[in-house]
Copies of this chain bind each other. A is one copy, B any other.
Amino acid sequence: MLRDDTMEMRTDIRASVQRLRQRTLVTEVRDELERMILNGEIRSGERLNEASLADQLGVSRSPVREAARSLEREGLVRTVANKGVFVRDLSLEEAAELYDLRAMIAGYLCGLAAKHADADAKTELGTFIARMDEAAACGDEQAYFGLNLEFHDYIATISGAGRAVALYSSLGKEVRLMRLRVLSGAESLALSNTEHKRIVAAIERGDADAARAEGGQHHTNGKRRLLETL
């Protein structure tokens, strides 16, 4: 028992060290910039002033520069030579395309999840559904929004995919650039969760094709809701 504990601690420490060791100023700044952009603290189209940000974050310009370049990977910014990096400004067409891409990849992930989900994963998915039902009943959009993100991330995790997961997450962030809350109103939340239930049902019975279709349809519906909002 004692040995188990110490082993547990040791692996914990090792993991923690591993994590800390991977952190560097660039990653730190990167995360902070990403947060600022997604929170709208830096608005769409705005320039990321290297000197100002470096000063603000207490580092030199180099880490800021590299972090900004790194954000390009997620499509959060675009770089113009000799002018700077700017927070991307999504047109409606671009947003619609992002939804299409996300729908395809989400379907792919749901299909894989149906193949790979074990009993624990299925239980966890059920828990997510229940919690989102609760949030929907309370009309707590904030909570539902967070749970929704976690739910889809969880499906991505159990899919066992690599690049597709990263892509899905990246496209998700890109979409959030629009800063437009599609899910609003209790009935909208409930409807969204109905679709979640269909996805989970398909995953639970291991029906990959159905899971793929439901996952894709859920995101396509999201695109339709977005377009209807405008």
Chain A residues 150 to 173 lying within 8 A of chain B, measured CB to CB, are 161-164, 167
Contact bitstring A73-93, B, C-beta under 8 A = 1, else 0: 101000011100000000001
Q: Are A98 and B24 in contact (CB under 8 A)?
A: no
Q: Binary interface profile of A, 208-229, with partner B (CB < 8 Å = 1, else 0)? A: 0000000000000000000000
A108 at the A/B interface (Cβ < 8 Å)?
Answer: yes
From B65, B97, B161, B163, contact of A66 by CB (8 A):
B65
Q: Does A23 contact B (CB under 8 A)?
A: yes
Establish whether residues A164 and B101, one from each chain, have CB atoms under 8 Å apart when the complex forms: yes
Q: Which residues of A contact B (CB under 8 A)?
A: 21-24, 27, 62, 65-66, 69-70, 72-73, 75, 80-82, 93-94, 97-98, 100-101, 104-105, 108, 161-164, 167, 174
A sample of 29 cross-chain residue pairs with beta-carbon separation below 8 angstroms, ordered by A number, consists of A21-B81, A21-B82, A22-B80, A22-B81, A23-B81, A65-B66, A66-B66, A69-B69, A70-B72, A73-B73, A75-B163, A93-B162, A94-B162, A94-B163, A97-B161, A97-B162, A97-B163, A97-B164, A98-B163, A100-B108, A101-B105, A101-B108, A101-B163, A101-B167, A104-B104, A104-B105, A104-B108, A163-B174, A167-B167
